Structure 1
Amino acid sequence: MSELMTPALAGAVAGLGVAMPMGAMSVLLLQEALRHRRTAMAAAAGIAVVDLGYAALATALGPWVASHVSPVEAWVRLASAAILLAIAARGLSASARPVPSAPPPPPAPPALEAGGPGRSPDSSAAPGTGTRTRPAARAFARYVGLTALNPTTALYFAALTTAQGATLGSGPAGAAFLLGVGAASLLWQQTLVVLGSLAGTRISDTARVWTFRLGYGLVAAYALKIAFPLPSLA
């Protein structure tokens, strides 16, 4: 069991590294949480599923790539580390600029008497009799599609898993890594849902900038970890 803790923790760090920086998807998720918590939870699961899917694809291909480039394995690790450092540098550079605040949420309709024509947004209503709750399945599919369009996530996991092909070559180690990725990503996205439902989008720009710095700091630290030992020039 102890030998699986290392890939599981590595996966958790990798999952947080890709999930923590609060970009456009995080802002959308916060707005979703302000409107309806249940659909936001489904949306958060959709984001985590895409992170897990990209990680699974990269984990399946990474060991194969690593096995075919074993003579230059150290150089592959160095190239992967360079890609991760470039992603981290780009993210940290963006964090130095002001993060645009999310627009204010639409005002909620005034509460009326129970059973009246204007029921609260969180209450369910029969079809055609009032407001309709947004289906969680539609929110899940929407956020899966939006997250899958981000090529940085795929590049991130491809570089990371190719560099660790040997350590993730066994089935249990790869599964532990994926478990860590999925759990960390889902936990972070659901944390955003809770924050969004409690505070809406009123999260300070400073707090959002620090999520960028922490997330991309993890990416940079991971890059340095896989870069060493450096390839020999002899």
Structure 2
Amino acid sequence: MTELMTPALSGAAAGLGVAMPMGAISVLLLQDAMRHARRAAAAAAGVATVDLAYAAVATALGPWVAAHVTPVEAWVRLASAAVLLAIAGHGLWSSRAAARTPPPGAAVAADGRPAGAGTADDDGPAGASTADDGGPTGAGRAFLRYVGLTAVNPTTALYFAALTTAQGAALGGGAAAAAFLGGVGVASLLWQQLLVGVGVLAGTRISGTARAWTFRLGYGLVAACAVKIALPLP
């Protein structure tokens, strides 16, 4: 059991690293939580499902790639670390803009419409509540909507591909890979559900400063993973 703790903790760090930065999806999730808790909880599960799916594909392919590049394994680790550092650096730089971005009430959704505006998945006008908004049908639509919105983000796929390829043989065993994926899934889901809870309790606005700090913490974890992967240097 002890030997599975390391990949599980690595997976949890990876899951938080990709989930914590508050981008457009997080803003939309907070806004949905302010209106309909059950629908937002289903949406949060959709986001975590995509994170887990990308991690699973990357974990399945990572050891295979690593096995075919054994002679240059150290350089592969270094290249993967460079990719992760680039993602972290870009995210940290973007956090400066996050502090100046209008709060969720004025945010714009990923499709270009105001985030608070009604969509095809809404059961009524923005901010209005109807009988089935929080029911199974509304929750199912919210889940699928957020799966689609999250899946089109290529950074998530690139992030897990770099992370798992660099770890190579460490995730080659079935138990270790399962522990890693379990850590990713649980950490991502818990963070998304925490956002839902914040939205339900607050019902108001999240400050730009708070959003910027989630960027810094999340991408700080990504940078830490990159450094861990890069050492020892070739």
Q: CA deviation at 1:132?
A: 8.3
TM-score (norm 2): 0.87
1:205 equivalent in alignment to 2:205: no
Which deviates further from its counterpart, 132-141 or 4-13?
132-141
Matches within 5 A, 1:35-114: 35-97=35-97, 98-103=100-105
Q: Percent identical across equivalent pairs?
A: 73
Matches within 5 A, 1:83-232: 83-97=83-97, 98-103=100-105, 124=131, 135-231=138-234
Q: Report the 3-state secondary structure (helix = DSSP H, G, I; strand = E; otherwise coil) of the residue aligned with 1:48.
A: helix
Q: CA deviation at 1:122?
A: 5.9
Q: CA deviation at 1:100?
A: 3.0
Q: Per-residue CA shift, 1:169-200, capped at 9, x if unaligned?
A: 00000000000000000000000000001113
Could you tell me whether the CA contact under 8 Å between 2:46 and 2:143 is conserved in 1? yes
Distance in 2 separating the partners of 1:219 and 1:210: 14
User: Where does structure 1 lack aligned partners over 5 or more consecutive residues?
Assistant: 107-120, 126-130
Q: CA deviation at 1:204?
A: 1.2
Distance in 2 separating the partners of 1:51 and 1:167: 20
Instruction: Read off the aligned partner of 2:64 and give its amino acid letter.
Output: W
- How many residues are matched? 213
Instruction: Read off the aligned partner of 1:51 and give its amino acid letter.
Output: D
Q: CA deviation at 1:41?
A: 0.2
Instruction: Read off the aligned partner of 1:162 and give its amino acid letter.
Output: T
Could you tell me whether the CA contact under 8 Å between 1:30 and 1:201 is conserved in 2? no
Instruction: Read off the aligned partner of 1:63 and give its amino acid letter.
Output: P
Q: Could you say if the C-alpha distance between residues 62 and 29 of structure 1 is closer, same or farther in structure 2, counting changes exceeding 3 Å?
A: same
Distance in 1 separating the partners of 2:218 and 2:90: 12
TM-score (norm 1): 0.87
CA RMSD of aligned residues (A): 1.8
Q: Could you say if the C-alpha distance between residues 174 and 37 of structure 1 is closer, same or farther in structure 2, counting changes exceeding 3 Å?
A: same
User: Where does structure 2 lack aligned partners over 5 or more consecutive residues?
Assistant: 107-114, 117-127
Please identify the structure whose Cα radius of gyration is greater.
1
Counterpart in 2 of 1:114? none
Distance in 1 separating the partners of 2:166 and 2:70: 11
Distance in 1 separating the partners of 2:28 and 2:165: 31
Would you tell me which structure has more helix in proportion to its own residues?
A: 2
Q: CA deviation at 1:60?
A: 0.1
Instruction: Read off the aligned partner of 1:49 and give its amino acid letter.
Output: T
Instruction: Read off the aligned partner of 1:92 and give its amino acid letter.
Output: L
Q: Could you say if the C-alpha distance between residues 132 and 40 of structure 1 is closer, same or farther in structure 2, counting changes exceeding 3 Å?
A: closer
Could you tell me whether the CA contact under 8 Å between 1:99 and 1:209 is conserved in 2? no
Q: Could you say if the C-alpha distance between residues 69 and 211 of structure 1 is closer, same or farther in structure 2, counting changes exceeding 3 Å?
A: same
Counterpart in 1 of 2:24? 24
1:2 equivalent in alignment to 2:2: yes
Could you tell me whether the CA contact under 8 Å between 1:81 and 1:224 is conserved in 2? yes
